[in-house]
Chains A and B, each alone.
Chain A
Amino acid sequence: MANYQQKKPLHDGFRKIQIADIMKTSRKIAALGLAIVVWIVLYTNLNLATDYVVDSLLGLDKGAHLTEAIRFFIYEVPKVLLLLTIVVFVVGIIRSWFSPEKTRKILAGKSLLAGNIMASMLGVVTPFCSCSAIPLFLGFVEAGVPLGVTFSFLIAAPMVNEIALVLLFGMFGWEIALLYMSTGLAIAIFAGFVIGKLKLERYVEDWVYKIKAGSHETVDEKITFSERIDTGIEAVKEIVAKVWVYIVIGIAVGAGIHGYVPENFMASLMGKSAWWSVPVSVLIGIPMYSNAAGIIPIVQALLEKGASLGTVLAFMMSVIGLSLPELIILRKVLKIQMLAVFVSVVGAGIVIVGYLFNFIF
């Protein structure tokens, strides 16, 4: 009875909330429009602003090593941060339609090849943090997602991410970004397929198969568009706060290489003629851990100094896709043999991609 009495005022309140919500949404969209205009003005005037600061305000010597390094730094930092903000925002909104639980439902019981392809693509859009890798792995395997398909997801999710794509797009244009995305997906599909074919189930830690996961009714929370915008803003706050330091450091290193390392210096080390450079880059990249944000400004500088595209791409993929912290997390559910297979298959895929690009370009 008491419950019933409470219901009526609640309903009225609900209507008020709805109206307030609509007002809030339209105000939000207006603010968003304004933010986008500011963004465009800033982005299109960066070149001018940089030259003004460097040449007029600081009055530095045009063409000197230090000047060019500073110019690179002053131009690239705001540019990359601007690009990052907008893409993280948009991707944050897109991701609000996806969740690991939904992805699992789609992938459960899928056959090998088709499953690998879908898992790789879902890996790109499903929100995923490597700290959730264990529950995700367990949950996938328990629900009957084949091991190889699970791996396709686990490989694609960190490697092909929005941060990598936006930076590649901003610094090298859409061709390279597309190239990276398609080869990254190809590696995830290929490696997952091979791991599936090898039938490595016995190299998963024994306790994994004993786990009884509860069934979690994924209540599809109704999210309003206004809340999706909030999700996007949250994503920007979280990710930009996390990666801006790496970007600044990455660009500083890049600026140093840009200003001081002589032209073609890298040609002998990471150029096409050095056939060994691809596997060596991959080996060096494995223990290195950086997110895409930190590594790409360095990649740009290396390319500029004569390193070849395939080698640099392989290095970058190895740094982002195979990382020591992730391997340590995965060791909890995988026996060491399985981990070794994982690293070698993915590593081999990256090496092939590296050679392929060195051969084509």
Chain B
Amino acid sequence: MNLIKVYGSGCATCKKLEALCYDVLQETNINATVEKVTDIQEIMKTGILSTPGLEINGKMISHGKLPAKETPTRWIQENTNS
């Protein structure tokens, strides 16, 4: 099962990224669970300093920015298996 994690303490950008993930999954028909991680301890464990962090199947792909829609689409396609 594919697992996408969005790390962020609830700022506007983090919420947008989470919504973006759902959009992409729906459009690409990829099966994945999206999990929002808001606990600061958990965020710190990943070592990132800027939120939102986007982790796909255990790999931190990006952090600190809200990418345009095409980019996460590519990331999700490349890092998940159907």
Contact = CB atoms under 8 A, between A and B. Distances in A.
Interface of A: 99-101, 104, 127-129, 131-132, 134-136, 138-140, 142, 211-217, 230, 234, 238
Main secondary structure of the interface of A (DSSP, over half): helix
Given A99-B64, A134-B40, A135-B40, A127 B47 contact: no
B40 A216 contact: no
Main secondary structure of the interface of B (DSSP, over half): loop
A129 B44 contact: no
Contacts of A238: 66
Nearest to A126: B50
A259 to B, nearest CB: 36
A139 B7 CA distance: 15
B71 to A, nearest CB: 9
B67 to A, nearest CB: 8
A139 B49 contact: yes
B76 interface: no
A131 B45 CA distance: 18
A216 B64 contact: no
Nearest to A227: B71
A136 B50 contact: yes
A132 B44 contact: no
B44 A211 contact: yes
B9 A138 contact: no
B43 interface: yes
A143 B55 CA distance: 22
Given A131-B11, A136-B50, A100 B44 contact: no
- Which of B40, B50, B65 has the most chain A CB within a 10 Å cutoff? B50
B25 interface: no
B49 A132 contact: yes
B34 interface: no
A100 B51 CA distance: 11
Contacts of B48: 101, 135, 139, 216
A139 B44 contact: yes
A135 B44 contact: yes
Given A131-B9, A134-B9, A211-B41, A234 B68 contact: yes
6 contacts: A128-B50, A129-B11, A131-B51, A132-B64, A139-B47, A216-B46
B50 A132 contact: yes
The 4 closest A-B pairs by CB, nearest first: A216-B47, A131-B11, A100-B49, A139-B49
